[in-house]
Structure 1
């Protein structure tokens, strides 16, 4: 049985397809159909009939979509519930308001369907304007409308252009097919010539706006391949490419044969246009399912392939790096020779042979970019690197991991000597070469021993997903603390742990609310002075001691978990943390740590202000690639 979501997507697609047909039909009458008495009146009647049939279907499907969506919004289970929900959704939700306006515009455009008359041209322009407005508000009731700020406004505008271009191109295919059946060869050829530049412009707009929307709503290659939204997007792109190929074939081959009155050419062109129309309908249906799915950028991707691209080996090993660069240069030269041969129309087969041989020889070195992947490889921790998660991870590590990895994670636990493969040293920078998702997979399913069995058991049966993410947060925080202590820097940019706060004179309830300001984090042993505006810095003092009343313009931790989390980041027992200080930059990155009693601490106001100005002058540039940047 088809569920409500699928039914709603299909009805939504039908409504959208009919609205596009309405715009394309009226646009065809205005811009593509030749004028004059030579055009058969029967064709005008068919097109006018298609006009009002498209409008009628758009209205009926739109009403059905509104009813189904209202039932979903209100959670209506009976007809009585639905009857009560309809006016509430229509009058008190943005979706309902927008749909009422849209259906009203479609109704007005449909009622303007007239075969001919003194004001026919102006009536058709009005119908185009009304239908374009109906399509233009689509973004207000989709993912674009739910996105706030300038990005959301840009998405709404982009989607409006996308739908207008789709209507003028795809919506005009059925009228074009009707015209081919009724017009003379000369007229049919003229229609195709008029259709070509308009269709080309629409294709360019569709490609540009589609890329802009995909960049925001999909966001990454893993999201494209690993989410339902991405799958529908790939289907839509594939169908679009096939439709574009057919359109090109129609213009470069079939249209010329129709103009030359080649026997059977009109039938072949008509069949091709029918197939292109079917592809257009499939594209609209895929778009409807995309609109009914959560955007890929907001969904956890499940990677479907056994390998993935990675620059780790190329960046870390000089020999691999040299081999990779040489391969790129050699293949690039061969490709340039191929392009030159095609341009000059000489030695094309020889250039092709060189290119194929080069690719065959050098491709194995490009395999250095591929590493083993797992379904969770591109997942990131959902914990927001919270103080509570870090502290919880420490306790879980002691209970489940310390026996093998050791209390400090150095791989020297009491059970390590009896293992065939020594446990990994989790205090070294190599842990940043692995993404959160890879670590989650290993913790869940274990690590295989090359000789069979498991070198490390999986904990999916004994620990919850939240527990596993907490372990990852703790391991990252602990290694960062050691890196800062040993090398006076973090191995990778590290977000300051998140936790609830209480402030005096500031509207902030969590650490994230302090973004845009430098934060001087102090522990209970530090007496903090007010930071005056005249200092030239915008900073807030945050005391980690839970339960202390904040001074005016400052904040305190509103959870006891903040203290042990920062103790882990400083590699100190909690009872030794008093006196430690930290600096967090306006973007939320933890930039500097001073352990209690450090000689180079910020003992004076001037030293503190100088340190703050120094980190503000050098904003952090996170490395590309999510596996080396610990933020959520």
Structure 2
């Protein structure tokens, strides 16, 4: 496997772990009723620990792979001198914070006091996501335009992480629909979906602004690999939007009427939405390494 291919793959895993860490934290600590929070924490504990560890390892791996891309391949990926050279670049100056924050998240997840662990991981996931707004195509602008581009990218990341990241704990807690926690689960789903309207709008609007800032035109030029992948991403996001609307306005009302069939279809629809979201992240991981032409 080439260094570039490994970079794309690790970037996908790293992004997925950050989105999951953010989504798990927000869903459990901000959306779930206090009476159901303990069960939700227990149900998602392994996922929270895993996402923290993978985010930390991914941040380190991306530094090594960036060194390999900047140098002469795999030999430079293992060269400490090249690592230091990367840390001296604009990317590296941001990535220092990414490494520190990801390392703190790992320590908190493994050894942090249980009373403060979930709140601390929520705050760290917010900061880790913010770091990602300062690298990539959106970070090439300077001055006032650069501030706008980074702010817009942060909005895009937070909105996307809320939408996709929260789907995992939502899916994990569907089993509680058959227990006495049913009403609390549905209340959490409705709250997630209500705020999800804002997140979806944020993804779409900030995405359109990103296209204008980075590409300067709509991605309809099929000879460009960047534009092909970007357009495919837009199509997958559109499918996710249709599924989200069906879930909120068709299936959730049916679930309130205690429909077993609606419960099953809802679970499958959420799983499909998660798969589409992973596809979106995979496309972003690929075209983010290409020249935006």
The aligned residue for residue 286 of structure 2 is 289
Give the distance between the partners of 1:47 and 1:131, measured in 2 at CA. 16
Larger radius of gyration: 1
CA shift, 1:98, in A, is 1.6
CA shift, 1:64, in A, is 1.6
Q: Does 1:132 align with 2:132?
A: no
Aligned ranges 1:295-306 → 2 under 5 Å: 295-296=292-293
Give the distance between the partners of 2:219 and 2:160, measured in 1 at CA. 27
For residue 199 of structure 2, the aligned residue among 202, 212, 222 is 202
Q: Does 1:144 align with 2:138?
A: yes
For residue 268 of structure 2, the aligned residue among 263, 268, 271 is 271
When residues 40 and 69 of structure 1 are mapped into structure 2, their CA distance, relative to the original with a 3 A threshold, is closer
When residues 77 and 197 of structure 1 are mapped into structure 2, their CA distance, relative to the original with a 3 A threshold, is closer
CA shift, 1:33, in A, is 1.4
Q: Is the 8 A contact 1:43 1:182 kept in 2?
A: no
Give the distance between the partners of 1:55 and 1:87, measured in 2 at CA. 25
Q: Is the 8 A contact 1:76 1:82 kept in 2?
A: no
Q: Does 1:18 align with 2:25?
A: no
For residue 166 of structure 1, the aligned residue among 160, 182, 197 is 160
CA shift, 1:119, in A, is 4.3
Aligned ranges 1:478-557 → 2 under 5 Å: none
Q: Is the 8 A contact 2:56 2:106 kept in 1?
A: no
* TM-superposition CA deviations, 1:87-130 (whole Å, max 9, x none): 3322x22222322211221232344349x98844xx54442222
The size of the alignment, in residue pairs, is: 290
Give the distance between the partners of 1:159 and 1:48, measured in 2 at CA. 29
For residue 105 of structure 1, the aligned residue among 101, 104, 107 is 101
TM-score by length of 2: 0.90
* TM-superposition CA deviations, 1:490-519 (whole Å, max 9, x none): xxxxxxxxxxxxxxxxxxxxxxxxxxxxxx
Give the distance between the partners of 1:226 and 1:150, measured in 2 at CA. 32
* TM-superposition CA deviations, 1:62-99 (whole Å, max 9, x none): 22221111111122452697343123322x22222322
Aligned ranges 1:369-518 → 2 under 5 Å: none
The aligned residue for residue 250 of structure 1 is 247
The aligned residue for residue 66 of structure 2 is 69
Give the distance between the partners of 2:85 and 2:47, measured in 1 at CA. 34
The aligned residue for residue 180 of structure 1 is 174
The aligned residue for residue 220 of structure 1 is 217
What SS class does the counterpart of residue 134 from structure 2 fall into?
A: helix
CA shift, 1:284, in A, is 1.1
Query: Stretches of 4+ moved more than 4 A in 1?
Result: 116-120
* TM-superposition CA deviations, 1:555-610 (whole Å, max 9, x none): xxxxxxxxxxxxxxxxxxxxxxxxxxxxxxxxxxxxxxxxxxxxxxxxxxxxxxxx
Give the distance between the partners of 1:113 and 1:33, measured in 2 at CA. 20
In structure 2, stretches of 5+ residues that fail to align are none
Q: Which has the higher contact order (CA 8 A, sep 6+)?
A: 2
CA shift, 1:225, in A, is 3.5
Q: Which structure has more strand as a fraction of its residues?
A: 1
Give the distance between the partners of 1:196 and 1:69, measured in 2 at CA. 38
Q: Is the 8 A contact 2:237 2:280 kept in 1?
A: yes
The aligned residue for residue 30 of structure 1 is 29
Q: Is the 8 A contact 1:168 1:202 kept in 2?
A: yes
